[in-house]
Amino acid sequence: MLNRIFGLETEYGLLIHEDHPDHSPTWFAHKIRDHLFHVQRRGVLDLHHRGHDEPPGNGGFLTNAGRIYLDMGHLEYASPECHSLTDIVASDRAGDRLLQQAIEDLGFSDRVSLIKNNIDHETDATFGSHENYLVSRRFPFSRRGMAPLVAFLVTRQIFTGSGRVGSAGPQDAWIQMDRLIIPRVAMGAGAGASLPFQISQRADYIVNDFFEWVQHNRAIVNTRDEPLADPNQYRRIHLLLGDSNMTEFATALKLGTTGLVLQLIEEGHAPHDLEISEPVEALQEISQDQERQWLVQLHSQKTISALDIQEQFLDSAVQHCKGQDEETDWVLTQWEAVLRDLRGDYQKLVGRVDWASKLWLLECYRDAENLDWHAPMLKSLDLEYHNLNQTKGLYYGLLEEGRVPRLTTDTFIQLAMDQAPKNTRAHGRSELVKHLIGSWSGAGFDQAANSERLFPPYVINWSIFQVRDRAPFPMPDPFKTYVEDVRTHLQSVTA
């Protein structure tokens, strides 16, 4: 798409199928990571401290230029930088496949499942699906400038949500009121009684509209200024509120529509007068609305539906973006179709929208078994929708039945497991990772990891790397591949 770099970060749940397990989820996560890097040789582990919570060996870059690492015990996959929706969907699915194949190779398939969702029904914990969008440094990064973005994000869950059974308890978090930081519970905020079903998994856990840090103060828009690129030219919009999607369609539409709204804001064409009065409350009310009317109140005191807000953004995007490239036109066409179908029977969306697909499956099961919404089995089925094991996951059952449209192919995903996109700097980083893998045997990596920790043989970050005894190699432009420059640099290292 036009002037856009996309990235996704996915944290996975890990479900143990044993009443009295000998090992914790974190133990299995370590085994999966180590198998990927030490046995399958899918990438190179970090040999340096990335932070106080990321010691050497915690994770590393892959041959496809993405990263796999552990975050607070969760396996997490960060996609490489992608310049097209096709690439980001394939790269996202490549992370799923890499981790699931490692489980199968280790013989863990009957013992554990990787769950690509965002909630733990037992502990009320949440884990994220973070979105990254590159924008110009001139992007109006202020409350007023981002008001249209917030209005779009609060309401897009009607087609991006993954759905869940029940609701989360009140969140222990702090919010800013004028110049004071006060506990959110003091404002009377938090989820109410348990709900049968809601359309978003993350909505209950978002407690601020804007905030810099991520844990316990998850915001609609994360304000940390970390561009991972030339800070004079770029800013990275980092979003925490989205659900992990199983359908390729929902992933592409989520990223594509958000990218177009960012373009409208950058170019001064975003619709006006849609500022939502209480964005966090509106986010949760839309998700929890059992009648699916999805009404919100604007600062103007006007009441409007989420569908109406989305249609205003769509109209602006059609007027100002239509025809600029093939992917944009696909997004506009599908955006219009989904909004039209949302005004009718939700079952029209099965296979395209995750919450609708899950709700249909759960309703079919409830009818067949004559169950109410409090039946424990429904939470188990909720999780099974997200199971990455293709022989068990309910999403894959829909796919096998031909109910799910594909945007990629299995062959393309297989390539994305090993290869980086060829039109971003991920290509150059992939070249580096493959060079490093070929430079040492497995034993060589172990020796490098266990000796000279203060001076590791390589250090890799998103926008720069350094190989021992050579100058740092910056890669500040995500749109540039750097591949020939990297090859030349590595040849000089070898010489």
Q: Are residues 278 and 251 in the same domain?
A: yes
Cβ distance 478 to 5 under 8 Å? Answer: yes
| Amino acid residing at 119 | I
Q: Classify residue 154: in a domain, yes or no.
A: yes
Q: Are residues 190 and 264 in the same domain?
A: yes
Q: Which helix (H) or strand (E) holds 265?
A: helix 248-266
Domain boundary among 328, 344, 360: 344
Residues of the domain holding 227: 119-344
Q: Are residues 175 and 286 in the same domain?
A: yes
Q: Are residues 39 and 52 in the same domain?
A: yes
> Is residue 204 classed as helix, strand or coil in its secondary structure?
helix
C-alpha–C-alpha distance, residues 276 and 205, integer Å: 19
Q: Classify residue 326: in a domain, yes or no.
A: yes
> Residue 438 contacts by C-beta under 8 Å, 6 or more apart in sequence?
none
C-alpha–C-alpha distance, residues 128 and 218, integer Å: 10
C-alpha–C-alpha distance, residues 488 and 482, integer Å: 10
Write phi, then psi, for 173 (nearest 5 degrees).
Answer: -150, 170
Q: Classify residue 319: in a domain, yes or no.
A: yes
Q: Are residues 297 and 214 in the same domain?
A: yes
- Annotated catalytic residue: which of 71, 105, 289, 418? 71
pLDDT tens for the chain, residues 1 to 495: 788 999 999 999 999 999 899 999 999 999 999 999 999 999 999 999 988 788 999 999 999 999 999 998 899 999 999 999 999 999 999 999 999 999 999 999 999 999 999 999 999 999 989 999 999 999 999 989 999 999 999 999 999 999 999 999 766 545 555 545 555 454 444 444 579 999 999 999 999 988 766 555 788 998 889 999 999 999 999 999 999 999 999 999 999 999 999 999 999 999 989 999 999 999 999 999 999 999 999 999 999 999 999 999 999 999 999 999 999 999 999 999 999 999 999 999 999 999 999 999 999 999 999 999 999 999 999 999 999 999 999 999 999 999 999 999 999 999 999 999 999 999 999 999 999 999 864 445 555 555 555 679 999 999 999 999 899 999 999 999 999 999 999 987 665
Q: Are residues 311 and 218 in the same domain?
A: yes
Domain boundary among 297, 315, 344: 344
**DSSP code at position 169:** P
* Integer-rounded Cα radius of gyration of the chain: 22
C-alpha–C-alpha distance, residues 158 and 155, integer Å: 6
What domain count does the chain have?
Answer: 2
Provide the token pair at 303. 């009441």
In the annotation, is 71 catalytic?
A: yes
Q: Classify residue 289: in a domain, yes or no.
A: yes
Cβ distance 132 to 67 under 8 Å? Answer: no
- The model's pTM is 0.93
Domain boundary among 344, 366, 384: 344
Q: Are residues 61 and 161 in the same domain?
A: no
Write phi, then psi, for 112 (nearest 5 degrees).
Answer: -140, 155
Q: Classify residue 490: in a domain, yes or no.
A: no
Q: Classify residue 358: in a domain, yes or no.
A: no
